Amino acid sequence: MRRCLRGELRTEDALPVRIHSQCMTGDVFNSAKCDCGEQLDLAMERIAREGRGVIVYQQQEGRGIGIINKIRAYALQDQGADTIEANVQLGLDIDARRYEQCVEILRDLGLRRVKAMTNNPEKIQAMRQGGIEVAERVATEIEPSKDTQKYLSVKKFQMGHLLSLVTS
């Protein structure tokens, strides 16, 4: 688990915060299969504009299944499975991530109010359950491409992600 801080962390203010799950393929190699790297870039740009904020970078690759299983899931996706179907075919959780440690880091930093930079309602719920007020949700939405349309549709319609640009 890593954290990146910028600027003064005045605990009375709602700071921009992103809980980001490691995505080697998206964050490092700019994979066309997901929007992870672009979401991280948006969060860093917002923090730079505001002059302060926090990114908690958790090592839960592939929604918690690990890099090897993620590559196996990618192979199934190349054969037509969606992101959920691929995990199920491999006998893996659809989403095995946990956010309690991330919330603990935010609390340890003294944060009580945040602007949550996320499309994932589970991250918002984890912050609220951990005693952090989510004063605002800041969308980190990327325009769907032909490569990400199916993936983002599954995230919206099957996983409940808050994605207004995805229509089908």
Catalogue the active-site residues: 95, 97
* Residue 34 CB neighbour total at 10 angstroms: 23
What is the greatest pairwise CA distance in the chain? 50
**Which phi-psi region, left, alpha or beta, contains residue 9 (left: φ > 0; alpha: ψ -120 to 50)?**
beta
Containing 90, the helix (H) or strand (E) segment is none
Cβ pair 122, 145 in contact under 8 A: no
